[in-house]
Amino acid sequence: MREWWVQVGLLGVPLLAVYLHIPPPQPSPALRSWRSSGTFFTHRGRNIFYRDSTGAVGSSDVVILLHGFPTSSYDWIKIWEGLTQRFHRVIALDFLGFGFSDKPRPHRYSILEQADIVEGLVRHLGLRHLRINLLSHDYGDTVAQELLHSAAAAFCRGTGIAGISFAVRSLQTPFFPGSEQFLGPTLSPRRQSSGICGQQSGITTGISVLQYINQRKQHRERWVGALMSTSVPLHLIYGPLDPVNPHPEFLQLYKKVLPMSTVSVLDDHISHYPQLEDPMGFLNSYLNFINSF
């Protein structure tokens, strides 16, 4: 009698072959509309999807939206119109490996690469000399932290980060996975002398993209330190029902480590995706922050 694993293999190989040849599901009408309203730019040979809307007349403010894992720029659809009434430019992209952007495999995905893509988009749109607001969620929070850290990089040559707002699952790791082990006394952030810009899906793809979790641990001092040392206004929009960053422990730790950051706490039933669960409450919280400086 053959070993059981041989029998499983003989059965599994044809099943896997069938699975790999199943065509991907077609986008919904709403997603097709989202895609048709955007476009692509090429970054180091990869096609990156983004959407760029011109909004409020008389405003020069720009906001770039950084989505979370494992979703896409479509996460911002419910607050998009509201943002265009306040900002001159509202911009969102799909990170490499997400949404309508290319999904190369095999590929070593990294937060540093995603931040470099944001920098590339800023250059592509001719925004390098404007002050930019970053609104981020989940995975995008860590990309925003890297952009803060790389103050001397191309993104910040003449470009000021006006303010950063983190949506609910902000800074999961390395900031908080249930204890202070990532924020102990060994963390010793140093302020960069220049300040912040002078302004005080295949199987292989999915596995590769998940490497950001290990990267958060590896670069905890780099990214948490960037937050602790910056003079850029910070704001957290928090849903108390978030299962990843439980209330009240996460909020207590956040305020302890970043006492200079302002915080908006939404209704008790709001969880991981506040911009979708409570778009009006989320939008009002964000605009109150933007209008405060």
Rounded Cα–Cα distance for residues 28 and 200 (Å)? 43
Count of domains for the chain: 1
Question: What is the pTM for the complete model shown?
Answer: 0.80
| Residue 148 lies in domain | 34-170+197-291
Establish if 23 belongs to a structural domain: no
Say which CATH number the domain at 221 has.
Answer: 3.40.50.1820
pLDDT value for 269: 96
Q: How many CA atoms lie within 13 A of 239 on its CB side?
A: 22
Establish if 68 belongs to a structural domain: yes
Rounded Cα–Cα distance for residues 229 and 145 (Å)? 11
pLDDT value for 79: 96
Token pair listed for 193: 């002398």
pLDDT value for 227: 87
Establish if 155 belongs to a structural domain: yes
pLDDT value for 183: 32
Taking CA 58 as the corner, what is the angle to CA 80 and CA 154, rounded to the nearest 5 degrees? 70
pLDDT value for 172: 33
Kindly list the distances between the CA atom of residue 233 and the CA atoms of 149, 178, 200, 236, 263, in Å, as whole numbers in the listed order. 15, 25, 9, 10, 11
Q: Where are the alpha helices (DSSP H) in the chain?
A: 4-20, 29-36, 77-84, 111-124, 139-149, 203-209, 212-218, 220-229, 249-257, 274-277, 279-290
pLDDT < 50 regions, the chain = 1, 152-159, 168-207
Q: How many CB atoms lie within 10 A of CB 105?
A: 16
